[in-house]
Chain A
Amino acid sequence: MTMRQRLIDPPAWTALIAVVAVVVVGLFVVPADRLQGQVQRIMYVHVPSAWIAYLAFFITFAASVRYLWRRDLAADRLAASSAEVGLVFTAVAIVTGSIWGKATWGVWWDWDPRLTTTALLLVIYAGYILIRGSIVDRDRRARAGAVIGIVGFANVPIVHFSVTWWRSLHQPPTIVRPGDPTIDHMLLGELLASVLAFSLLFLYLLNRRLELERARDEAEQALLMPS
């Protein structure tokens, strides 16, 4: 790909413009929360990042099931790519949450159930990537990945419901809860727009990562072929 071809990349531009737009609206257009003030605006990055991480690990889970069922390497590539992008969004959720926590709770970190289970999520998928990277045999790599991709996903609902099941410092869900979301509807609109924009970014990143995984499989195949 030449530099010029690289610049003409509609999905990349769409995702970039969408993310910049929701950030601008989140920072300058919608009003801030009456009690928390300006720092509440970090929600428009924190919440979408956490949700995208859930989505990414769900894709890894579903693709892992498909791999074990059909031995389909394309599904394994999707599982690996989604886990890696999901790990990045998990890290973004933790960092933005930490900043938000310092300004509202008063500390960067506390071992409350939501924070603890999210930290464990990070460890599980970091382990997933480490294990995949260390297994040379293609089928064993895919099998090991699929098992962890399925078992590890059990933590995602635990992370989500930790604030409902247990006493915590983190507030309970605002939107995914029985009844009307406990957020002003203008703020809710901006939050949902942010989720959409971050989804576009996620799809773009996932696609690029998938291309890389395909190229890697082709390169490995070429190396194994007798010339």
Chain B
Amino acid sequence: MRLRPATIIGLGLVLAALVALGGLVATNAVVYYVTPTELAAKPVDGPVRLYGIVVGGSVSYDRASGVLSFRLSDGQTTEAVTSRFLPTALFRDGVGVVLVGRSTAPGAFSADEVLIKHSAVYQPLKPGETIPPDILQQIRGGG
């Protein structure tokens, strides 16, 4: 029985995908991100994703250098974060963010990407309701 090249490519694709999937399930999807407490307990040397909540009132932006700074917390441990990445308009106090970057010192994290993990709650604005101020608007339009 001779298989045509397209059959072999197709089988290769399906098998590769199933092996990748089996690997994801078996290793419990590796760990997509760590928390500040986990990072403090077991430092990672190299690129890592870090998840936490933006601490209220901690966000600042230096217009001259273009560096965004804020503190990130998981309720127990806090990291000081700096980044040149401009996050989306959903970035604000108390929002959950996934940082892609690396530790520069214990408790200090440099993020190449600041991704907003939005919730699965969808609600329209109630009459007269205002949403928390958009920090980025202040950053971008603040001068």
Contact = CB atoms under 8 A, between A and B. Distances in A.
Q: How large is the interface on B (under 10, 10 to 19, 20 to 34, 35 or more residues)?
A: 35 or more
B140 to A, nearest CB: 14
A186 interface: yes
Interface stretch (A7-15, A58-66, A108-116): A108-116
B105 interface: no
B87 interface: yes
A130 B116 contact: no
B29 A171 contact: no
Interface centre among A35, A110, A124, A135 (most CB of B within 10 A): A35
Nearest to A177: B120
Contact of A33 (B10, B100, B122, B126): B122
A158 B25 contact: yes
Contact of A151 (B18, B28, B32, B115): B18
8 contacts: A40-B122, A127-B11, A134-B7, A167-B31, A174-B121, A174-B122, A183-B122, A183-B123
Interface of A: 30-37, 40, 43, 103-107, 110, 112-113, 116-117, 120, 123-124, 126-131, 133-135, 148, 151-152, 154-155, 158, 162, 165-169, 171-174, 182-184, 186-187
